[in-house]
Amino acid sequence: MGVVGYALTNVAGPPAHHLRIPIMPHRLRLLVPLVALLGCSDPSGPEASPSMIAGTWELTSVDGCPLGAAPTSSEACRFARSSAVAGELRFALDGRVVRTVTYRMGTGTVRYTETGTVRLPAPDQVVLELYDAEGRGLRPMPGRIEGGQMIFRYPHPADGETVEVFTARTVIN
């Protein structure tokens, strides 16, 4: 299969100069856009499917302290800022997510719910895009997936950083 082309005389230049414009055979024309798309792919790989993580993930620790642990169970947990007593992430197959965390407040508890979507830029990366109960305040929460756990780090409202660890409880595939 050769390249078919035609000559075009360059009228602005000397008559001896010809510009050769190749015309691709039909099959080759279909291949060029495909090769261009493959060449433009993200080197980190394609985005993973939300169905990989669909199911319920339980909040198991905040700032390194297990939920449900006695306040004095360890030196690190004695002064923990979090008052979270329970929490979960529920992922739907289509990428929707609900994040629920229950906090101790005075003598009772308050349940806080956010809804939104999830993206997996890579199989070990997760980004939650959450809104509060009124649908306001987009809050992106980037995290990573390691050995059956999702780990999220985000700025603490008062100071420092909060680290939440969720462990897979029920996974739907």
Is residue 100 within 8 Å of residue 111, measured between CB atoms?
A: yes
* Residues 125 and 61 both lie in one domain: yes
* Residues 141 and 98 both lie in one domain: yes
Measure the CA–CA gap between 76 and 61, rounded to whole angstroms: 12
**Domain span including residue 145:** 50-171
* Residues 108 and 166 both lie in one domain: yes
Q: What is the pTM of this model?
A: 0.67
Asked, for residue 58, whether it belongs to a domain, the answer is yes
Measure the CA–CA gap between 138 and 128, rounded to whole angstroms: 10
Q: With a cut of 70, list the residues of the chain below it in pLDDT.
A: 1-46, 68-82, 173
Asked, for residue 44, whether it belongs to a domain, the answer is no
Partnered with residue 23 across adjacent β-strands are: 4
pLDDT at 38: 36
Using alpha carbons, list the distances in angstroms from residue 173 to 126, 143, 146: 17, 21, 18
Give the position of tokens 């005075």: 106
pLDDT digits 0-9 by tens, 70-110: 555 566 566 566 678 899 999 999 999 999 999 888 888 99
Asked, for residue 45, whether it belongs to a domain, the answer is no
* Residues 22 and 83 both lie in one domain: no
| Domain at 81, CATH number | 2.40.128.20
Give the number of domains in the chain: 2
